[in-house]
Chain A
Amino acid sequence: MRNPALLDSRGPVSAALFAVLEEAPGGGSDQGEAFLSQVANAVEDVSDILIDEDLQLTLTTLYGLHYGEIGDWDPRWEWQPETIRARLRIEEAFEAALRERIPVLDLPQPEAETVATKLFHLTAEDSGPSLSKYLAREATDTQAVEFIIHKSIYTLKEADPHSWAIPRLRGRAKAALVEIQADEYGGGRPEHVHATIFAGTMRAMGLSDQYAYYLNNVPAVTLAAFNMMSMFGLNRRLRGAIVGHLAAFEMTSSIPNRFYGNGFRRLGYDEKVTWYFDEHVEADAVHEQIAGRDLAGSLAEDEPELFPDIIFGAQACLYLDGLTGSHMLTAWNSGTSSLRHPLDPVDPFRDLSESRITHGSK
Chain B
Amino acid sequence: MDPSNAPSASIVACPNGPLLVRGDFELVTGTGEEIPRMRKTIALCRCGASTIKPFCDGTHKLTKFSTEGPSTIQEA
Contact = CB atoms under 8 A, between A and B. Distances in A.
A211 interface: no
Given A113-B15, A281-B52, A282-B57, A289 B38 contact: no
B62 interface: yes
B57 A285 contact: yes
Interface in A279-298: 279, 281-286, 288-290, 293
Contact of B38 (A182, A255, A279, A290): A279
Contact of B18 (A113, A187, A283, A285): A285
Interface in B13-62: 14-18, 20, 38-43, 51-52, 55-59, 61-62
A183 B43 CA distance: 13
A293 B14 contact: yes
Interface residues of B, number: 22
B40 to A, nearest CB: 6
A283 B41 CA distance: 9
Given A279-B38, A282-B55, A289 B43 contact: yes
A53 B15 CA distance: 43
B61 A187 contact: no
B15 A285 contact: no
A10 B53 CA distance: 48
B20 A289 contact: yes
Contact of B43 (A117, A179, A285): A285
A230 B31 CA distance: 48
B49 to A, nearest CB: 11
A73 B10 CA distance: 49
B76 to A, nearest CB: 33
B12 A289 contact: yes
Contact of B58 (A113, A117, A187, A288): A288
A351 to B, nearest CB: 28
Contacts of A281: 51-52, 57-58
A120 interface: yes
Nearest to B55: A282
Given A255-B59, A289-B17, A283 B12 contact: no
B59 A183 contact: no
Contact of A285 (B12, B40, B56, B62): B56
Contacts of B40: 182-183, 187
Given A281-B52, A290-B20, A293-B14, A254 B41 contact: no
A179 B61 contact: no
Contacts of B12: 289, 293
Contact of B52 (A113, A253, A282): A282
Contact of A117 (B15, B20, B51, B55): B15
A208 B59 CA distance: 34
Given A183-B40, A187-B40, A290-B41, A284 B14 contact: no
A96 interface: no
Nearest to B39: A183
Contacts of B14: 289, 293
Contacts of B42: 286
Contacts of A284: 58
Given A182-B40, A281-B52, 4 more contacts: A255-B59, A281-B57, A282-B56, A286-B20
30 contacts: A113-B15, A117-B15, A120-B61, A124-B61, A183-B40, A183-B41, A187-B39, A192-B38, A254-B56, A255-B57, A255-B58, A255-B61, A282-B39, A282-B56, A283-B38, A283-B39, A284-B58, A285-B43, A285-B55, A285-B56, A285-B57, A285-B58, A286-B39, A286-B43, A286-B56, A288-B58, A289-B14, A289-B17, A289-B43, A293-B12
5 nearest CB pairs, A to B: A254-B58, A285-B56, A286-B43, A285-B58, A281-B57
Interface of A: 113, 116-117, 120, 124, 179, 182-183, 187, 192, 253-255, 258, 279, 281-286, 288-290, 293
